[in-house]
């Protein structure tokens, strides 16, 4: 049976079922409600179609594969400006500005990068997912830089395979608090949802494998910050932000993970996807982009 099962944490005790599903599945409230109405959610082994049901901590919540459920895809929006650095019949490479949301979700139904791309490339509707067509990987709202989007199903499958076998190259530039003891290293620590706050991620024993390589490029004494390049070996939500915070070097401006401090506040986590490399899914040519 497709889907995932999680235990309701204490932090969500007494919350409505539709809100809990939206948080755990990272979808909009409307998509969560549709999944509940379609019988795609169960609590302690019993299908529940009551959106307003109050869940209890310790209950087992199963959420079906919402991305595979039928849904009306995101609407095209030609008013969204999307900076494109490469486009062909199969892929689009975007240099995303900070503040632009990648795809619709809870609280961001329109005005996203995906809405803008659909206006320029209507044929990508339904590629890979009805809910997030063409989206192979994501950048947080506050993160700027490069990401690739698939325009065809063949391209989508090929790019997803490269993410899985870790042949896609992704390098990020980050400004972190403090001076690192070592010039370079690897953070190897599993990441999952925080048991205290389901809207945040954390290093947890039962989390998914996560590895981030880093190398310090420069260091300043006042304020004490380090410019670091990070390479993703896996692609977990908030991975770099969580890993840097876990080793005592939260990103400058990252209030979610302890990086908001007086004296230096860019208004967002200081994180930029500066390099992207992958094999073109049709031609096999190795493509590389820098920002």
Q: How wide is the angle at C-alpha 31 spanned by C-alphas 27 and 32, nearest 5°? A: 80
Backbone angles phi, psi at 154, to 5 degrees: -60, -45
pLDDT digits (tens, 9 = 90+) for 160-210: 999 989 999 999 999 999 999 999 999 999 998 888 887 789 999 988 899
3-state secondary structure 146-211: EEEEECCHHHHHHHHHHHHCCCCEEEEEEEEECCCCCCEEEEECCEEECCCCCCCEEECCCCECCE
Nearest CA to 40 among 15, 7, 18? 18
* Mean pLDDT, range 221-235, rounded to an integer: 95
Nearest alpha carbon to residue 25 among 35, 16, 15, 13 = 35
231 CB contacts (<8 Å, ≥6 apart)? 169, 170, 171, 172, 212, 213, 214
Task: Kindly report, residue by residue over 15-33, the tens digit of the pLDDT.
Answer: 999 888 888 887 777 778 8
pLDDT at 59 over 70: yes
**Long-range pairs, 281-285, Cβ under 8 A, ≥24:** 281/90, 281/91, 281/150, 281/154, 281/155, 281/157, 281/158, 281/159, 282/89, 282/90, 282/154, 282/155, 282/158
Taking only the tens place, the pLDDT of each residue in 110-144 is: 899 999 999 999 999 989 877 789 999 999 999 99
Output the DSSP codes for 55-117.
Answer: P-TT-EEEE--GGGS--PPPPP-TTS---EEEE-SSEEEEEEPTT--SS-BTTBSSSSHHHHH
Active site residues: 140
Domains of the chain: 4-68 (3.10.290.10), 84-165 (3.30.2350.10), 171-273 (3.30.2350.10)
Residue 212 parent element (H or E)? strand 211-220
pLDDT (tens digit per residue) in 246-280 = 999 999 999 999 999 887 889 999 999 999 999 99
Nearest to 9 by CA among 59, 80, 73, 57: 57
pLDDT digits (tens, 9 = 90+) for 67-89: 544 446 789 999 999 999 999 99
| pTM for this prediction | 0.76
């Amino acid at each position: 049976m497709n889907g995932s099962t999680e235990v309701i944490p204490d932090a969500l005790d007494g919350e409505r079922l539709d809100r809990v599903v939206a948080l755990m599945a990272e979808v909009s409230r409307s998509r969560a409600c549709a999944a509940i109405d379609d019988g795609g959610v169960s609590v302690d082994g019993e299908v529940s179609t009551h959106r307003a049901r109050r869940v209890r901590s310790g209950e087992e919540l199963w959420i079906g594969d919402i991305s595979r459920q039928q849904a009306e895809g995101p609407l095209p929006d030609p008013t969204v400006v999307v900076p494109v650095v490469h486009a062909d019949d199969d892929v689009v490479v975007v240099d995303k500005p900070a503040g632009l949301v990648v795809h619709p979700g809870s609280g961001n139904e329109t005005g996203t990068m995906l809405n803008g791309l659909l206006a320029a490339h209507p044929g990508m509707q339904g590629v890979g997912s009805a809910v997030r067509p063409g989206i192979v990987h994501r950048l947080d709202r506050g993160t700027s830089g490069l990401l690739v989007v698939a325009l065809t199903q063949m391209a989508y499958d090929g790019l997803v395979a490269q993410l899985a076998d870790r042949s896609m190259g992704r390098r990020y530039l980050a400004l972190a608090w403090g001076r690192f003891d070592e010039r370079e290293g690897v953070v190897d620590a599993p990441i999952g949802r925080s048991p205290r706050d389901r809207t945040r991620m954390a290093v947890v024993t039962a989390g998914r494998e996560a590895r981030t390589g880093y190398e310090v490029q420069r260091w300043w004494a006042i304020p004490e910050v380090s410019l670091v390049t990070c390479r993703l070996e896996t692609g977990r939500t908030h991975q770099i932000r969580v890993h840097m915070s876990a080793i005592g070097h939260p990103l400058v401006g990252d209030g979610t993970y302890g990086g908001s401090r007086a004296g230096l506040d860019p208004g967002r986590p200081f994180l930029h996807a500066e390099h992207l490399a992958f094999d073109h899914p049709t031609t096999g040519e190795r493509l590389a982009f820098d920002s």
